[in-house]
């Protein structure tokens, strides 16, 4: 999505999809080839389920708003199958909001490296 007006419309449609599923989006950034979102989910909804609902419903709304996209995505898959989800734990909501709003993409690689180390840090056997 290289055109700003399309990004704005896609953002609006993602927010609409979220509202329909009672997902609260605090911060949302739509880039050319990815989306960052900071959201609160209903208590009984898993992050994977929320992602599935947002991607599915927003794709439907996007194809309705931009019928020409059907030619670009003939198999009906607007979003790629990949996703990255992380719950807020040792990071403040302000830090996440700042990260998304400023699109610090250079920090994304650094964050991915930290995630590789995280399982060892969270291992409970170290506490016994």
Q: Is residue 85 part of a domain?
A: yes
| The model's pTM | 0.66
Q: Which domain holds residue 93?
A: 4-123
Q: Is residue 33 part of a domain?
A: yes
**Which pLDDT belongs to residue 76?**
77
**Which pLDDT belongs to residue 64?**
92
**Which pLDDT belongs to residue 75?**
79
Q: Is residue 128 part of a domain?
A: no
Listed as ranges, residues in the chain with pLDDT below 70 are: 1-2, 88-91, 103-128
Question: What CATH number corresponds to the domain at position 82?
Answer: 3.30.70.1290
Instruction: Name 66's Cβ contacts closer than 8 Å, sequence gap at least 6.
Output: 6, 9
Q: Which of 33, 7, 37 is nearest to 23 (CA)?
A: 37
Per the structure, how many domains does the chain have? 1
Task: Give CA–CA dist 78/60, Å, rounded.
Answer: 9
The whole-angstrom distance between residue 8's C-alpha and the CA centroid of its chain comes to 15
């Amino acid at each position: 999505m290289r055109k700003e007006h399309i990004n704005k419309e896609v953002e609006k449609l993602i927010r609409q999809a979220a509202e329909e599923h009672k997902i609260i989006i605090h911060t949302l950034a739509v880039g050319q080839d990815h989306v960052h979102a900071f959201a609160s989910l209903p208590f009984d909804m898993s992050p994977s389920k929320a992602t599935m609902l947002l991607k599915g419903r927003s794709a439907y709304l996007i194809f309705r708003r931009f019928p020409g996209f059907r030619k670009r995505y003939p198999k009906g898959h607007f979003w790629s199958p990949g996703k990255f989800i992380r719950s807020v734990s040792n990071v403040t909501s302000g830090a996440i909001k700042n990260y998304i709003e400023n699109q610090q993409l250079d920090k994304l690689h650094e964050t991915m490296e930290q995630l590789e180390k995280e399982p060892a840090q969270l291992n409970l056997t170290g506490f016994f």
